[in-house]
Amino acid sequence: MLIVMRHGATPDEVQKVISVIEEMGYQAQPMPGNQRTAVGLVGNDGRVDASRLEGLPGVHEVIHVSQRSPAPARSKPSARSSRRRAR
C-alpha cells in the first residue's frame, strides 16, 4: 500500500501516518519527493484497513498495490532467434 501525502504536508502529518502504520503492526517506508511525500506500508498481507489512513490530516490518496503472480517460464528460444547478429 502506498500513502500519498498532499503537497505541502507537514513533517508532523507525515510522522502521524508513520505512527499509525506502525501501530497497525506494519513497517512504514517514507519516500520524500520534490512535490510531495509518499509513505509505503511494508509487510501487509492484503487485508489492511485503509480507512485508518485515509482520514488522517495531510493524506491525499491511499493506493492499494497488488503484486502480480510470476509470469510463466518461457520456452527456450528457437535456433533462429538465437542466431541474430549484434548491431
Query: Is residue 67 pLDDT above 70, yes or no?
Result: no
Is the residue at 9 inside a domain? yes
Q: Who has greater pLDDT, 15 or 77?
A: 15
Is the residue at 75 inside a domain? no
Residue among 12, 76, 19, 24 at smallest CA distance from 49: 24
**Domain limits at 27?**
2-63
pLDDT on residue 38? 97
Count of CB atoms situated within 10 Å of the CB of 59: 21
Is the residue at 49 inside a domain? yes
Q: CA–CA separation, 78 vs 55, rounded Å?
A: 55
Structural domain count, the chain: 1
Is the residue at 81 inside a domain? no
Is the residue at 84 inside a domain? no
The CATH number given to whatever domain includes residue 17 is 3.30.70.1140
pLDDT on residue 75? 60
- The average pLDDT across 63-78 equals 65
Is the residue at 79 inside a domain? no
Chain segment 6-65, per-residue pLDDT in tens: 999 999 999 999 999 999 999 999 999 999 999 999 987 767 888 999 999 999 999 988
